[in-house]
Chain A
Amino acid sequence: MNKIPVIVVDDETIDRYIVKRQLAKCDDFEQVLEATTGAEFLEAYFSEPRLMSQQSQPLLVLMDINMPQMSGFETIEELQRRMEADSGPDNVIILMFTSSNNPEDRAKAELFPTVKGYVVKPLDEVGVQAIRALYYA
């Protein structure tokens, strides 16, 4: 089985580190890519061949919500807008990745067709299995 390509979009270095460490223990994931802002992620998603849809597996995006400049939600809105307008790559599975267990945020996440789930920080072994399950759901 192919490994899952994954990128974590989070402004907090420590949170990205925790994701890298936890996912590294699980053989199902490729080496974790990182973006520190929404803009950086969008730039990478629409230009780097590595992330594009020709890969056999959809790209897994762990998207933080609370980031300076573009929030996670704003980033997803922009992503979906550009996917529709440019008919660009659309092979993507997004999981909200946040310390907020806020019902408002959960409700909002459900409105996005590209968002498949909601994972609450910090990421641990159970969280990794949850991500895997959501990805294949």
Chain B
Amino acid sequence: MCREILRGSVRVADNNTQRPDISALGVRPPIQRVYHMLMIEKYRLAFDISPVPMLLIAGDGEILLANSGFLELFEYNASELIGLSVEVLVPAPTREHHPELRNAYHRVPTKRSMGAGRDLYGVTKSGNVIPLELGLEPVPDSEEPMALVAAIDIRQRKAHEVRLRQAMDAAASAMVMVDHKGSIVFVNQAAAKLFQYEERDLMGKRVEMLVPEEFQRAHPVYTSSFMSNSTARSMGLGRDLFARRRDGSQFPVEIALTPVDTPEGKMVMSTIIDLSERVAAAEEVARKSKELEALNVELSHFAYSASHDLKAPLSSIVGLLNICLQDLETNDIDEVRANMSKVMEISRRSADKIEAILTVARAGRDPVERSLIQLEEIVQETWLDLTGGKAGTELLLDLDHKDPVMSEQTTLKVIIENLLSNALRYSDPKKSEHTIRVSSRTIDDGLHVAVSDNGVGIPEENHDKVFLMFKRLDERSGDGLGLALVKKQIDRLGGEITLKSTVGHGAEFSFTLPGEDEDLEQDSGDSRR
């Protein structure tokens, strides 16, 4: 009878074999047993009417009392559970050091929740592990260390949390929740991915780790002012915002801030949208429209120049023929003959010029065959064509690129021909030696070629004008089409042409020709053979 009172309302004499931890309980002095009995009786009624699953535990961990809610939750009968050590309810990983934790509690007993933020679990008779929230309370007026334990089944809450978490992770937008101190308390998968971190690298850290360095100092001030006067709004107040990835790189973002009141205090949920693609698309549109603008300028420039340059020879022809008519009346046949020759000469030049203009206009429209080319061969051939083998100018070759190069043979020939012809034409009569140097080297994305001379050079103010169509800068200029054509072809091939020149020292035109990826790979393979 005494035993029944002590161990609850059900007999336990026959369940020795079901007590895994009974040895830990040791033997109690009679005075303690009486004391336990008193406490059990004191709490029994309260236990039975409490809807919350509850336990009364002795200082050594013995379960003294459990209410029906608790028994149901852990799938025990009272007779099975009472008298066991509480450790039977603790899942394996923690069970071993649980007595230690329990002893620590009894040294400084306070009312508190167990686990200090860790997830807590209990194990039922059948071995089910269930998440719990546990409240601990020392038994008041107790001379023996005893504790009341309230256990709340949080399986449903956990399931909700998981579902919420899944929903947050499914969201395309990155979400970062920050507490009032500016520490990260939540990130979804999109956020972790966006910032290139693992979730665990972010939790509990300062949110400033996601902020570009130049704003890191000011950011906590913004955070606290938002916390003290928070309404949902977008961050930055119209300024361009940037966020910082793990590798330190920055990217444009749009951030919406929403205040959230939680039991842990005021927090702010920030929804972050990566604008990189949008910004890149806007830049692409801007680039295209700039390109179109440039094309328009080129077109109107062409129309303007055409009115000058194509009409001028026709005017001259009409003028000359008019004079021929007058001279015929006075029978000045010699003058007529001379002027007729001039007319023919102008007509011939005009035809050539129109052909050249058509070449420029066609550049980029007609597909040109790409082939493996030998730069040196092109330069030597062109040089022979231009000089007829008797030049007063020396040609120096400094070709250091990896052969062969894949490009448009005919286009490259046009480019080289124009550059060499200009270099020849603008030699400096004051110098005793005239040299033209063609150098080449392989660069990251293709070929770099420079044609430099020690000629008269080009004044700084004309550097921008040399590539303009029809622009003839002095008497030695050709038809004003050569460099325009060269530039247009190089632009089309995705390269760049630049001019360096000092008057009196010479000029250097250098251009790049990007290799096409596939071809280049093949090329470098060939060149290693």
Contact = CB atoms under 8 A, between A and B. Distances in A.
A and B bound? yes
Interface of A: 11-12, 14-15, 18, 21-22, 25, 36-37, 65-66, 68-69, 98-102, 104, 120-124
Interface string B318-334: 11101100100000000
Given A14-B342, A100-B308, A124-B322, A68 B472 contact: yes
- The 10 tightest CB contacts between A and B, nearest first, are A122-B319, A121-B315, A18-B319, A99-B315, A68-B472, A66-B308, A99-B312, A99-B311, A122-B315, A122-B318
B316 A104 contact: no
A66 B314 CA distance: 15
B52 to A, nearest CB: 92
Given A68-B472, A100-B307, A101-B307, A123 B319 contact: yes
Contact of A12 (B304, B311, B312, B474): B312
B309 A66 contact: yes
B477 interface: yes
Nearest to A102: B307
A65 B319 contact: no
B472 A18 contact: no
B464 interface: no
11 contacts: A11-B475, A12-B316, A18-B322, A21-B323, A65-B308, A99-B311, A99-B315, A100-B307, A121-B315, A122-B316, A122-B322
Given A18-B323, A100-B307, A101-B307, A69 B474 contact: yes
A25 B472 CA distance: 33
Interface string B163-176: 00000000000000
A14 B346 contact: yes
Nearest to A22: B323
B473 interface: yes
B475 A121 contact: no
Contacts of B474: 68-69
Given A18-B319, A100-B311, 11 more contacts: A14-B346, A15-B315, A18-B316, A21-B326, A66-B308, A68-B475, A68-B477, A69-B473, A99-B307, A99-B308, A100-B308
A99 B314 contact: yes
**Which of A37, A66, A123 is packed against the most chain B CB atoms within 10 Å?**
A66
Contacts of B311: 99-101
Contacts of A65: 308
B305 to A, nearest CB: 8
A122 B342 CA distance: 15
Given A65-B308, A66-B309, A101-B307, A15 B319 contact: yes
Contacts of B326: 21, 25
Nearest to A11: B475
B319 A124 contact: yes
A54 to B, nearest CB: 33
Nearest to A123: B319
Nearest to B316: A14
Nearest to A15: B316
